[in-house]
């Protein structure tokens, strides 16, 4: 059986988050090269050499490496594609873990921008949606096509958290709604809401590049800026951005990570109309109890709790 060797370079503080990310994608066997371990090795084995190559010292300085292996099969490459997208989200949330680059047999990180496209295919989600990568041609009678080119932002529909949110939107968007999408990535959730009949949507993300990506994906679906607004900034503390949101939303979506959802939980209600819905996901199973308890403490009634592949979503009122 053929195996592919992949390497992720990160700062020392990124080792645990990277290994956790890999575990979430089904990769459990890793090899860790830690700069600290390398320095200890040099210090404790001086008697074996008189000289250490400066190039080797420079290569090891400030960088740690996590190496892992996947089968050289379509399923293996699909795992790699999921890892790449999850890394993009981790890099966005934690720039201090840089460089967070992925290498495979001397294929540079930048080359993934096109290589990963081969592993995303049309997906039927819920009762009405068909998520179609821009580079694919597909249609299914009775389903609404949602065309996407996510680039290197998060949001293709393949991740369990995105599917959980899309399924909830498919169930609860009936026409004429106003939707706020916090942490929009590719814009998939807010654009899906508009395709399903929502009247207006506002999306934002902490990553500036997501603005162009979301607008481009909206245009692929015939959605203009007259009904769709995208901004960037930190939704938890940017008061000017929060003021621009306005209020009276029928639904607020936050498919982010548990820590951000915990921060957002007490802040979201002013954006919602009376009886509006707060949809959260991006919650790994070992944080679900913590997030559930915080939501209830902040006065949210949990109407639906769903799980898929070790991830949770909560629909609250």
Q: State residue 42's pLDDT score.
A: 46
Q: What is the DSSP letter of 67?
A: E
Alpha-carbon dihedral 206, 247, 173, 151, rounded to 10 degrees: -20
Q: Buried b / exposed e across 110-128, counting CB within 10 Å, b at 16+?
A: eebeeebbebbebbebbeb
Residues facing 89 on adjacent strands:
none
Q: What is the pLDDT along the chain (317 residues), one digit of tens a residue?
A: 577 888 898 888 888 899 999 988 888 778 887 765 545 544 554 444 444 455 544 555 556 888 888 887 777 877 887 888 788 888 888 888 888 888 876 444 445 555 556 667 788 999 999 999 888 888 899 999 999 886 655 666 778 889 999 999 999 999 999 999 999 988 999 999 999 999 999 999 988 888 999 999 999 999 999 999 999 999 888 999 999 999 999 999 999 888 899 999 999 999 999 999 999 999 988 899 999 999 999 999 999 999 998 899 999 99
Do the beta carbons of residue 258 and residue 251 sit within 8 Å? no
Do the beta carbons of residue 254 and residue 264 sit within 8 Å? yes
Query: What residue ranges define each of the domains in the chain, with the CATH number in brackets?
Result: 3-114 (3.30.70.120), 161-316 (3.40.50.150)
Task: Give the C-alpha separation, 75 to 66, whole Å.
Answer: 21
Helix, strand, or coil here: 68? strand
Helix, strand, or coil here: 196? coil
| pTM to 2 decimal places | 0.69
Residue holding tokens 């940017």?
238
Residues facing 260 on adjacent strands:
none
**24 alpha-carbon distance from chain centroid:** 12
Task: Give the C-alpha separation, 156 to 183, whole Å.
Answer: 14
């Amino acid at each position: 059986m053929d195996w592919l060797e992949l390497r992720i370079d990160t700062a020392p503080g990124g080792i645990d988050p990277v290994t956790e990310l890999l575990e979430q994608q089904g990769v459990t066997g890793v090899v860790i090269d830690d700069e600290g371990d390398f320095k200890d090795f040099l210090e404790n084995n001086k008697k074996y050499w008189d000289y250490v190559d400066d190039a080797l010292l420079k290569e090891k300085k400030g960088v740690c490496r996590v190496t892992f292996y996947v089968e050289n099969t379509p399923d293996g490459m699909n795992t790699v594609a999921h890892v790449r997208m999850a890394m993009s989200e981790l890099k966005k949330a934690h720039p201090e873990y840089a460089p967070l680059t992925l290498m495979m047999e001397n294929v540079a990180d930048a080359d993934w921008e096109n290589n990963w496209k081969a592993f995303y295919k049309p997906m039927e989600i819920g009762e009405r949606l068909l998520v179609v990568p821009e580079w694919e041609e597909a249609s299914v009678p009775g389903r609404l096509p949602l065309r996407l080119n996510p680039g290197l932002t998060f949001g293709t529909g393949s991740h369990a958290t995105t599917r959980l949110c899309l399924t909830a939107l498919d169930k609860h968007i009936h026409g004429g709604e106003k939707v706020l999408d916090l942490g929009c990535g590719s814009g998939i959730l807010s654009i899906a809401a508009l395709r399903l009949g929502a009247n207006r949507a506002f999306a934002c993300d902490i990553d500036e590049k997501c603005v162009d990506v979301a607008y481009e994906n909206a245009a692929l679906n015939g959605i203009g800026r007259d009904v769709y607004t995208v901004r960037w900034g930190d939704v938890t503390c940017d008061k000017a951005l929060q003021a621009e949101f306005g209020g009276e939303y029928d639904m607020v979506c936050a498919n982010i990570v548990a820590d951000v959802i915990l921060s957002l939980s007490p802040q979201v209600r002013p954006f919602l109309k009376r009886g509006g819905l707060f949809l959260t996901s991006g919650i790994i199973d070992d944080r679900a109890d913590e997030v559930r308890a915080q939501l209830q403490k902040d006065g949210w009634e949990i109407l639906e709790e769903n799980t898929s592949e070790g991830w949770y979503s909560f629909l609250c009122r």
